[in-house]
Amino acid sequence: MIKAIAFDFGGVFVDTYEYHYQTYAQKYKNLSREKHRWLFEANVLERRNELPINDENLDVSMEMQKYLMQQHIDSKIIDMLKKLKTRYLLFIVTARRDNFLKEFLLREGVFDLFTALFGSDTQIKKNIKFNMLLENYCLKANEIIFVTDTLGDILEAHKAGIRTIAVDFGFHERARLEKGKPIAIISGFDELESVILKIK
């Protein structure tokens, strides 16, 4: 029985791909789109250390936060989250900073929908964050589903024994997501509830 749903943030709740790529292309030398997507086939915060730097003074995290504070969560996504909240515990597991994430969610009026946030200040490795979540909230791995837009996230969730649902409207396209063997790949947030209800 599914008791909880964890969500990634960027690419799932807010479309961040293009701005993220453009910012990284300023920070790192000769960064193609394919190389940028490659970063997210594993833990991006670790893998980006392998890239040659072009602008040492550019703080990509701060630039992304400035951008995100100009964005909003679509009202249809908020309605779905409210509906899911009546049945499941909701969490966010992301590479975004914890304090920023709280500020953003408060502004959007959805902070109280989430039981807890696990951002980069909590821990860099998502598989460790998943284990913390399971332990802190007395959940078994088969009682939670993680919703994400990248292959790297899928693989980190699987390390913790957590099943995933992928969205193909974020950083990674369907063919790349399929390599991680998620339970399902959806093309719209409105598909999420029906997919979860079918999971045993």
pLDDT confidence band for 124 (50 / 70 / 90): confident
Angle at 140 between CA 175 and CA 106, to 5 degrees: 75
Residue 7 pLDDT exceeds 80: yes
Structural domains in the chain, sorted by start: 4-15+73-198 (3.40.50.1000), 17-68 (no CATH)
Residue 111 pLDDT exceeds 80: yes
Mean pLDDT of 171-188: 97
pLDDT per residue over 31-67, tens digit each?
999 999 999 999 888 899 999 999 999 999 899 999 9
pLDDT confidence band for 101 (50 / 70 / 90): very high
Q: Which residues contact 130 (CB under 8 A, 6 or more apart)?
A: 6, 93, 146, 156, 157, 159, 160, 162
Check residue 190 and give its pLDDT.
94
* The one-letter amino acid at 25: A
Cβ contact 80:190 at 8 Å: yes
* The one-letter amino acid at 179: K
Check residue 200 and give its pLDDT.
72
pLDDT confidence band for 123 (50 / 70 / 90): confident
pLDDT per residue over 142-158, tens digit each?
999 999 999 999 999 99
Check residue 88 and give its pLDDT.
98
The DSSP secondary-structure symbol of 51 reads S
Cβ contact 155:177 at 8 Å: no
- Angstrom distance (rounded) from CA 140 to CA 21: 36
Edge-to-edge strand ranges of the sheet holding 144-148: 116-118, 89-93, 4-7, 144-148, 163-167, 184-186
Residue 194 pLDDT exceeds 80: yes
Cβ contact 42:155 at 8 Å: yes
Q: In this prediction, what percent of the chain has a pLDDT beyond 70? A: 100
Task: For the chain, give the mean pLDDT.
Answer: 95
Dihedrals φ, ψ of 7, to 5°?
-125, 140
